[in-house]
Structure 1
Amino acid sequence: MAVAALLALCSTGPATVAHAQDAADQPFMAGAPLDLSSNAKTYGGFRFAESMAYDEARDLYVAVNAGIAQNIIPNDGYISLINPDGSTHTLKWIGVNRNGLTLNHPLGSDIINGLLYVADINVVRWFDMESGEPRGSVTVEDAQRFNDIEVAEDGTIWASQTGTEESGTWRLYRIGPDGDSSVVVEGAPLARPNGVAFDPDGNVVVVNINDNAVLTFSPDGELVKTEHAVDGGNDGLVILDDGTKYVSSVRIGTVSRIRPGEEAEVVASGIPSAASMSYDSKRNRLLIPMNNWNAITIVELD
C-alpha cells in the first residue's frame, strides 16, 4: 500500500502538466457575469490585485490579479470585472479556466483601442475588451520582470522594470508595434521604477519605489523635469488631461496630488499597499488595488 501510494504521488506532477497542456489547446472561454437576484450583491474575489483600469465603454473597473505565486501554482493570473459601486460584476472574466490562456503573474495594465494590455513577467499580452479573448503577445528576452505599462495609440508599449537593488536592473523599456524593444533609460535617476503614464505633452512619466521622485522623460529618454510626491515608495501614477498627477505610495499608503506648478499634497491616506491605480473619468475618482490585501479602495476626488 505504501509503495502504491508513493507511485500515485509521484505521478501527480506529469499528469498535472499534461492537464495544463490539454487546457491550453482548448478554445478560450470568458467567465460569465454573476447572475444574482435583485436583492444580492457580491464583493471581493481578488488575489493579489496589482493594477486596475477603467473600461469607459462598459463603465466597468478591470482588476488584474497576479494570483498565487508561480513557484506554488504557475499560470494562475486572472482578471475580474467590478461594478462602479464596488460590487463584483464577473469574478473571473479572463481566467475562469486555462483554456486557450496563459496568464502567469500579471501586474501592470492599460486599455487602448479596445484592447487590454497586461504585463506578465517578461511578456506583454493583450486581450479583446469585448470578448476577453487573447489577441497577441510580445516577449522581451532580456527583461527580468515588467511592473507597470502604458500603451500609446499606435500600440507602442512603455514598460518599467523595477528590478533589484542593483541599479543596472532599473529600466524603462519601449516596445514598438512591430515587437522590437529597446531600453530607453537605465539606472539613475530611476530608482526601482514602477508606475508609468503619459503627460498631456506626450512625455513619459515614471515614479520610483526607492524615493519620491516623479520623473518626466521625453520619448527619447531625456530627463525633462523632476517633481516630488509627498512620500516615497511609490507605485501608481495617474495623469489627468490638465497635467495634474496623482501618485500612490505602496509603502506608506498615501496618495499625493501634484498640480502643475504646485507642490505635492496628500489627498488620501491609510490605504495599505496602494498599488497601480487607475482613474474613473466619469465619476472623478481613483481606483486603487491593494495587492496582498486582496482588496481595492475607491478615492473620491474634489
Structure 2
Amino acid sequence: MIKNNRLFLSAVAFSMAGFCTTSSAQEFSVGGPLGAANQAGNFVAMSANVKVFGSFHFTESCTFDPERNLILAMNRGNDGGSDDGYVSLINPDGSVHTSKWIGANRDGLELRDPIGSAIANGVLYTADNGSREVRSFDLLTGAPIDAVAIPGEGFINGIAGTDDGTTYLSDTPQGIIYEITADGDVSVFAEGAPLNRPNGVAMDNDGNIVVVNIGDSAVITYNPDGEVVKQEAAIEGGNDGVVVTGNGVKYVSSVRFGSVTRINSRGNAQIIARGIPSAASMCYDSTQNQLVIPMNPNNSLAFIRL
C-alpha cells in the first residue's frame, strides 16, 4: 500500500512538472527591424540613409580626428565604475582600425566610464563619469596627460574643447555647464534656465558654446562670457548630441526619440533621419561629410552621409 502511494505521488509529481514546464515555456520570437518611438509615441523604422556597424561596448560618444581620418569611439566600462573603459579607432566606413587603442592594457591608465569626448589642438578630452574627472590624452600617442576632478555630484556628460585648452562640460542632472581652464581651474559657466538637463556641448565657428537639453528641444548658444546669444529648437526633444559644421549648420541627435534634426544658419529646422535607437552624442566626420552616431546599449554606430 505504501509502495502504491509512492508510485502515485511520483506520477503526480512527474505530471505536475510536465504541466509547469509546458505552461511557463515562451514561444520563440525574433527581434524586429531597427527603429525607435518618435515623440508622438509611434514606432518609426530606421531611415534608409542610415547604416549601422557594431562591436562596441555602450559607446556614448565619438569624435573625429581629421589628421588621421579616424573616428574615436568612447566605450564605457562595466557598471560600478570599474576601471575598464577604452577608446576604439574606427575607419570612416565603420570598420575597426584598432579595437582598443587607449585601454589595450591598464598600465599607467585609469579610464572608468568615458561619456562625452572632444578633440582640440592635438588633445583628446573625455568626461569620465566613473571617477568624475575630465581626462585628457595625447591625440598622437594616446598617452594620458591630465585628470581634472569636477566638484559636486551628478552625471558629467557632454564636453567641448578649444585650442587654448579650455573645456566646457555639462552635468546633466545638476543643470550646470562647467568651464575648465588649461590650468585645471573649474568654475560654473552657466546654470539655470534655459538649461533643462543639459547634455551635448559643441563649439561653433565663432568660438561660442552650443548646448542641447535632454529635458526639451532647446538649442542654446552662449558667448564665452556666459551670455545667451541665440536660442533655437530641434524638431524633437530628448537631445543628446550636437555638432556644428564649417558652414554653421547644426545637427542635433535625440537619444529619446531617435531623430536627427538639421538647423540651418537661418534657424530653420527639419528632421533628416528617424528611428535611430538611442541616438547619443554624435560627431561630424568633416572629411567624408558624414555624421557618426553612437547608439548606446545597442553597441553600434550609425552613419549618415550628408
Bin for the TM-score computed over the shorter chain: 0.7 to 0.9
For residue 138 of structure 2, what is the aligned residue in structure 1? 128
| Unaligned ranges ≥5, structure 1 | 1-42, 164-168
Which deviations, in whole Å up to 9, do the C-alpha atoms of 1:45-75 show, x marking residues without a partner? 311100011111111111001121126xx11
For residue 280 of structure 1, what is the aligned residue in structure 2? 285
Within-5 A mapping of 1:69-108: 69-70=79-80, 74-108=82-116
Deviation of the 1:100 alpha carbon: 0.9
For residue 166 of structure 1, what is the aligned residue in structure 2? none
Deviation of the 1:92 alpha carbon: 0.8
Structure-1-length-normalised TM-score: 0.81
Which deviations, in whole Å up to 9, do the C-alpha atoms of 1:84-112 show, x marking residues without a partner? 11111111111122111100111000111
For residue 71 of structure 2, what is the aligned residue in structure 1? 61
For residue 239 of structure 2, what is the aligned residue in structure 1? 234
Q: Which has the higher contact order (CA 8 A, sep 6+)?
A: 2
**Does 2:259 align with 1:258?**
no
**Does 2:147 align with 1:137?**
yes
For residue 49 of structure 1, what is the aligned residue in structure 2? 59
- 8 Å CA contact 1:46–1:295 kept in 2: the answer is yes
Distance 1:272 1:99 in 2: 35
- 8 Å CA contact 1:120–1:145 kept in 2: the answer is no
C-alpha RMSD of matched pairs (Å)? 1.2
Deviation of the 1:262 alpha carbon: 3.7
Deviation of the 1:219 alpha carbon: 1.3
Letter in 1 for 2:99: L
Distance 2:238 2:151 in 1: 28
| Unaligned ranges ≥5, structure 2 | 1-52
Deviation of the 1:143 alpha carbon: 5.0
Distance 2:55 2:259 in 1: 24
Percent sequence identity is: 54
Distance 1:297 1:289 in 2: 6
Deviation of the 1:294 alpha carbon: 0.4
Distance 1:75 1:248 in 2: 28
Question: Looking at CA atoms only, which structure, 1 or 2, has the larger radius of gyration?
Answer: 2
Which deviations, in whole Å up to 9, do the C-alpha atoms of 1:191-239 show, x marking residues without a partner? 0000111122221110000100001112121111110000000000000
Aligned with 1:204 (options 205, 209, 213): 209
Distance 1:99 1:155 in 2: 26
SS of the residue aligned with 1:148? strand
Q: Which has the higher strand share?
A: 2
Structure-2-length-normalised TM-score: 0.80
Q: Provide closer, same or farther for how the CA distance between residues 154 and 143 of structure 1 changes in structure 2, counting only shifts above 3 A.
A: farther
